[in-house]
Structure 1
């Protein structure tokens, strides 16, 4: 039996983590909002710089696993996807009957996504943006065929609630996919990645966005996220079946896959 991550205990006690600090559940969301409000306009640029462009390949792998159909209707929910980066890829991969709802709790991130969408008129009528909380989705049961969340689940104060909501809004046969940072499992690369994360990324954030603290939090939040086996157990606890994960780039990130049966 997989040991549950400390996040579960924090949730029951009314506290959770914000990077390496312990904060109240209600306090975390406001702090996270401040982080993404600060970096929204240069968020995708920073992703390119921090990952050397690898985030594009990771997101392409996510969409390849989703495989939106080209011949039938497919309604998809992309959570914490405010800038539209994953949603645009899904629409490009799917057919004309593929529609994506982009949900994000941060209005500044959504504003960036809406502005980017204006340059993609071919998506008109198939792409919507909504400001809402992943823990309390404003949708009916069984409303979507697919659910993705890329680099967002670790910022949710109550991960168990977000997973339960993902299960609720998916139709039977619907797929859940989560792209998130993981634990590097290659000798030498782990030490190199650790040094890069804590020494280079905050400085890069300061140079590009004028905000080192937000990127220091993002690095710390990666270290506090459950390892793949523990997170898979949380997904199973939410009611999902056929739960699996795939490590990419030496374990820097993982794609977690599950189905609602």
Structure 2
């Protein structure tokens, strides 16, 4: 660890409440992987400004910050957990996918549900194991539709529609039937949602989706590829995943986060072996 990084970290650890925001901002701006534990620890402080700065820094660091953020989810500090989920939603790493599914559909905090819903639509799908990306996208679509239709807070439904728009754009070429289904549901939301803001967002999402579909261009699937990928044959895992998923859906309601347990385990196991 260099002297400069040590001094930045020490400044955060020594700062009082008034100086903490600036100290965290300085540390986050340095974009040092060694700063991840300190930034994550800041999420648990009773200082929302510093927590926001830490989240922004962790988002900039991206993939390397994910293990520490996932570990934070097991702590008892609910505020820190909420901030960690917000960071995971922006990073879009597959390892945070199961957390976002559960948070979007069932978390008690509307801000967490809002961030998770938006994040589900903007996952780094190119980072997912090839054999699991399709089922993950299907689960994301179903969760987002559930949130857009059922969440009692208009701002969460609004964010779910933004997530659906992003997801529909991503899958328009590979799964046009899913994209068409999203379009149909957006039309219904525009007509039926009690909030004018949600209805307007649904209309805008339809327009954006139509524009994107009309101007589809080929892209290199290797672009922005993550080191998480692997050539391991996971066909057996995928078959078991589909089987477990079908069994769970016989007894669990739409939106129940336990429905995502199998998918989460499959993704986690595969990533742990790479």
Band the TM-score falls in, shorter-chain normalisation: under 0.3
In terms of fraction of residues, the more helix-rich structure is: 2
* TM-score with structure 2 setting the length: 0.25
Q: Which has the larger radius of gyration?
A: 2
Greater RCO structure (CA 8 Å; 6+ sep): 1
In terms of fraction of residues, the more strand-rich structure is: 1
